[in-house]
Amino acid sequence: MATTTPDSPDIRSSRRAKSVGRAGDRVFSGLSRGSGITLLVIMAAIAVFLTYRAVLAISQDSTNFFTTFEWNPAANPPVFGIAVLAFGTVVSSVIAMAIAVPVAIGIALFISHYAPRKLAKPLAYVVDLLAAVPSIIYGLWGAIFLVPYLGGLNMWLDQYLGWTYIFDKSSDGVARNMFTVGILLAIMILPIITNVTREVFLQVPRMHEEAALALGATRWEVIRMSVLPFGRSGIISASMLGLGRALGETMAVAVVLSPSFVLSGHLLDPGGGTFAQNIAAKFNEANEFGRDALIASGLVLFVITLLVNGAARMIIARRKEYSGANA
């Protein structure tokens, strides 16, 4: 925790002064500075590459890149737009977050505060293992196992919640839709959110919890009054990590979804698409220009991810009073 506290200037300068002349310190500081710069250079290189190729493509797009519901860069003139992809990416991630975040917090609380120690360790380990399953495996599992089983749930949702519009199933078809993708993504991002959240919950100062207990709080009240407020910024950053994964998930979505370039709010109808899924599906057979167009769509995903991360940082910064540094 102390690592996050910025040193006061005088401590810093005195430390620097001491390090002069010591070879080990100089090497280490050079190494770490080099690593930091390398990271920036890599990020800049990615951005430059994406922008360059994207500009090549977009400058020849005959329609509006942001509002076109079609993807056919091989046509003459080329027609492609990201409207459906942006919508699908955001919608599937929102569904995934809505399902995964509460469940992840529940699991994290159970592991950190409720489960007997004998159970907590293996459970945490199993959640860790979930993160190690490659996404193509999730995709195959989703397509072969989950899709047939979700047919019934879809029918049920359509029958009882059809009035909500989003759960109105307007066309027949198996459950290869955005809702299924959302559920699959939720399962995929669960481990990362759970693990980070659990770590944060374990960091709650013992004194806080004991103080609450001493005041006569029940275990739930302890969690509500000390654990959750303390962990809030941690939960948010964990969720953002999960969201980042959901936004960029490729193979699992490509295998499970039945994509189409139709914008529809009916989550149970097959259709829609995401940036990463579209790139995976179209990259192989695309010509040079088609690849540029796909890279342009990748640039949009890059920007969306940056915005989401930026927003998360702002939220966390606003809640600094709860961060571990002040505990």
Partner 1 sequence: MKLSRNGLRASAIGALVVSGALVLSACGSDNNNEPTKDGGKTSAAASNIKCDGAKGQLLAAGSSAQKNAMDLWVKNFQAACSGVEVNYQAIGSGGGITKFNQGQVTFAGSDSALKDEEVAESQKICKGGKGVNLPMVGGPIAIGYKLDGVDNLVLDAPTLAKIFDTKITKWNDPAIAKLNPGAKLPDSTIQAFHRSDESGTTQNLGKYLSATAKADWKYDPKTKSWPAPGGQAANGSSGVATAVKDAEGSIGYFELSYATANKISTVSINTGASAPVAATTENASKAIAAAKVKGTGSDLALSLDYTTKAEGAYPLTLVTYEIACDKGNKAETLPTLKAFLNYTASEEGQKVLSDAGYAPLPAEIAAKVREIVPTLS
Binding site for partner 1 (CB under 8 A): 1, 3-4, 71-72, 74-75, 134-136, 143-144, 147-148, 171-174, 176, 192, 195-196, 199-200, 203, 234, 237, 241, 244-245, 248, 250-251, 254-255, 257-262, 270, 280-288, 290, 323-324
Shortest reach from residue 45's CB to partner 1, in Å: 14
Name the minimum Å distance from CB 172 to partner 1. 4
Burial of residue 291, with CB atoms counted within 10 A of its CB: 0-12 exposed, 13-18 middle, 19 or more buried: middle
Shortest Å, Cβ 196 to partner 1: 6
For residues 178 and 93, give the distance between their C-alpha atoms in angstroms, rounded to a whole number: 10
Nearer to partner 1, 97 or 143 (CB): 143
Cβ 26 to partner 1, closest distance in Å?
A: 23
Peptide bond into 77 cis (omega under 30): yes
Helix (H) or strand (E) holding 80: strand 79-80
Shortest distance (Å) from residue 256 CB to partner 1: 9
Q: What is the DSSP string of 23-73?
A: HHHHHHHHHHHHHHHHHHHHHHHHHHHHHHHHHHHHTT-SS-TTT---EET
- Residue 209 to residue 229: CA distance in whole angstroms: 12
> In whole angstroms, how close is the CB of 251 to partner 1 at the nearest point?
6
CB nearer to partner 1: pick between 74 and 225 = 74
How far out from the chain centre does Cα 20 lie? 43
> Please, which residue, 136 or 303, has the CB nearer to partner 1?
136
Q: State which residue, 26 or 313, has the beta carbon closest to partner 1.
A: 313
Q: Cα angle vertex 11, ends 5, 14, to 5°?
A: 145
Which ranges of the chain does DSSP label H, i.e. alpha helix? 9-19, 23-58, 83-109, 117-132, 135-141, 147-161, 178-202, 206-214, 219-222, 228-248, 251-256, 275-283, 288-318
The answer to whether the CB of 55 falls within 8 A of the CB of 40 is no
Q: Helix axis angle, 83-109 relative to 178-202, nearest 10°?
A: 40
Q: Considering the complex, what minimum distance in angstroms separates the CB of residue 18 from partner 1?
A: 23
- Smaller CB separation from partner 1, 217 or 280: 280
CB of 119 or CB of 317, closer to partner 1:
317
Closer residue to partner 1, CB minimum distance, 47 or 280: 280
